[in-house]
Amino acid sequence: MTVTDFDVRHIHLFQAHQDNASEPTWVREKREAAFRLLDELPWPVFEKMNITDWPWFQFQPFVAGRPVANRDELPQAVQMILKTYNQQAPTVVLENGDLIWEENTAALKDQGVLLVDLKRALIDHEALVQRFLFQGITGDHDRLIALQKNDRLLALSDAFWNGGLFVYVPKGVRVAEPIQLMITAHGDGTGLLPRLIVAIEEDSELTFIEHRLSDEETTTVHNGVSEVFVGAGSRLRFVSVQAFGRKTYDHTRRYGTVGPNARLEWVFGEVGNAQGAALTVSNLVGEGGSADVKMVSIGHGSEHHHFDLRNRHAAPHTESDVLAKGILLGAARHIYHVVTKIEKGARGSNGEQTARLMMLSSEARGDANPILLIDEHDVKADHAASVGYVDESQLYYLMTRGLSRKEAERMLIFGFLEPVISEVPVESVQTYLYEAIERKFMQ
C-alpha cells in the first residue's frame, strides 16, 4: 500500500472538510501541510515488524458520530463496558471522534476542569488548546532509535484527525474520581482518527481512563494520537485499555511531557484483537520528574502487535520505570521495544525497564528488545528482558495436584501477569483486564 493508492475520493473529502469546518486557521494549515507531505514522508519504523502493507489509508474519513439522548441508546458494547466501570465517575463517549454522550461531568465544571469535545474546544478555548495541540510531539534522531519528528502515519493523523477530547485540569485541582473515556467506531471501513489532549497544570492530580473498542466484525482503521502534559509537582495516571475487534488496524501514538517533580503513570491493557503498532514516548523535561509504565498484553490467533515504549530523560534527577509483560497464544507475535535514553546533563537520573513475554504455543513468537542509551556518567540504569515458553516443570507441579493442563496454564498466566495488573490503580480496570485475558485465553 502506498499513498498513491489513496483513493482520489479522499482528496475531495479532505477538501470538502476543509471548506466546511469552522476550524482556526492554524489547524487548517496544519492539516493542509500534512496532507501535502503524505507522499514524501517516510513510514515510522517499528523494529522487526513491517507495518507498511497494512491498510492505513483504506478508510472512510470524517464520518460523524451519532449523538444519543440517553444512555440506553448507546451501542450495546459500550453500555456493557460502562456497566463494569465506576458509575459515579465523569464519563464521556466518543463515536468516530465525536462526543455523543457524557454523564457526571457537571461537578468538574465547578472545579474549572474542562472535558470538552476537541472540535468544540477549538472554538470555545482556542488559545488554551493551541498551547498543547501538536506541541507534545517530539522526534529523536539518535542513530540507534531513529524516531522522526514527523512521519507518514503521524501526518495522516495531522491531516485527517476527526474529533477527540480536550481534558484540562487547572492549577492546584485534584480530581477525585477518575475521568472515563470510551472511544468507539461506527460504520464499516470507518477511519477512527481521534486526537486527545490531557493537560494538567501544576500541583494537580488526575486519573484518566480511556477504553478503546470497535466491533469484532467491522473493518476499522484507528490512528490515534494522544498528547499528555503533566505540570510541575502534578500526578497524572493515564490508563488505556485496547479492546479493538479483530478487523481493526490500530496505530497509536502517545507523547507525554513531564514537568519538574511531576509524575506520569501510564497503564496499558492491550487485551483487544487488533493488529497494531503503538508508540509511547515520555519526555522527562523537568528536574525530578518521573514516568512509570505498566503494560500487559495478550495475543492470540494471528495477531501482530508492536509496542514501542520510550522514556527520555532530558533533565537531572529524573526517573523512569517500565514493567511490561505479555502472553502469546496461537501464532501471535508481539514485539516489546523498550528504549531508555538518558541525555547528557540528566545527572542523577535512574532508568529501569523489565520486559517479559511468555509463549504458550510453538507457533507464537515474541521479541523483547531492551535498549539503554546513556550520554551522562552520573546515572543509574538497568534492564531485564526475557522471552520464553511457559515453564513445563511448573505446569507439571500444578497438574500433580489435579489441575488440568488448561487450568494450570491459566494459573501460570495470571501468576505471571499479577504483579503488573495488581498495580493498576483502578479496581474496575483490574477486573476488566482479568476477564478480558481470561476470555482470550479460553477461546
Partner 1 sequence: MAKPVLKIEGLHVAIDGREIIRGLDLTVQGGEVHAIMGPNGTGKSTLAQALMGHPRYEVTGGSVTLDGEDILSMEVDERARAGLFLAMQYPSEVSGVKTSDFLRAAINARRGEGKEIPILQFIRKLDAAMKALEMPQEMAGRYLNEGFSGGEKKRNEILQMKMLEPRIAILDEIDSGLDIDAIRIVAEGVNSMLSEELGVLMITHYQRLLNYIRPHFVHVMMNGRIVKSGGPELAERLEAEGYDWLKEELGITFEQEDADTTVRQEA
Binds partner 1 (CB under 8 A): choice among 411, 430, 438, 441: 411
- Is position 367 an interface residue for partner 1 (rule: CB under 8 A)? no
Q: How far is the CB of 138 from partner 1 (least distance, A)?
A: 36
Q: Which is nearer to partner 1, 325 or 365 (CB)?
A: 325
Residue 414 in contact with partner 1, rule: CB under 8 A: yes
Contact stretch for partner 1 (CB under 8 A) within 254-262, 264-272, 336-344, 397-405 = 397-405
Residue 172: Cβ within 10 Å count: 15
Q: Which of 213, 243, 408, 433 binds partner 1 (CB under 8 A)?
A: 408
Q: Quote the CA–CA distance of 54 and 384 in Å, as a whole number.
A: 31
x/- mask, partner 1, residues 110-149, rule CB under 8 A, reads ----------------------------------------
Hey, what's the cell of 343? 541525555
CB of 166 to partner 1, least distance (A): 39
Question: What nine digits make up the cell of 223?
Answer: 490512528
**397 sits near partner 1 (criterion: CB under 8 A):** yes
238 phi, psi to nearest 5 deg: -115, 110
What backbone phi and psi angles, to 5 degrees, belong to 387? -135, 125
For partner 1, the binding residue among 20, 25, 70, 400 (CB under 8 A) is 400
Query: What are the distances in angstroms from CA 347 to CA 321, 372, 381, 388?
Result: 17, 15, 12, 35
131 or 405, CB closer to partner 1?
405
Rounded to a whole number of angstroms, the CA Rg of the chain reads 21
Is residue 295 within 8 A of residue 280, CB to CB? The reply is no
407 binds partner 1 (CB under 8 A): yes
Among 55, 419, 423, 443, binds partner 1 (CB under 8 A): 419
Distance (Å) of CA 192 to CA 70, 93, 127, 334: 23, 14, 26, 23
Shortest spacing between CB 408 and partner 1, in angstroms: 8
d(CA 256, CA 260): 13
Q: Which residue has the cell 444512555?
A: 71
Whole-angstrom distance, CA of residue 318 vs CA of residue 309: 17
Q: Does residue number 385 form part of the binding site for partner 1 (CB under 8 A)?
A: no
* 117/291 Cα distance (integer angstroms): 27
Question: Shortest gap between Cβ of 255 and partner 1 (angstroms)?
Answer: 32
372 touches partner 1 (CB under 8 A): no
Nearest approach, Cβ of residue 373 and partner 1 (Å): 30
Interacting residues with partner 1 (CB under 8 A): 391-394, 396-405, 407-408, 411-412, 414-419
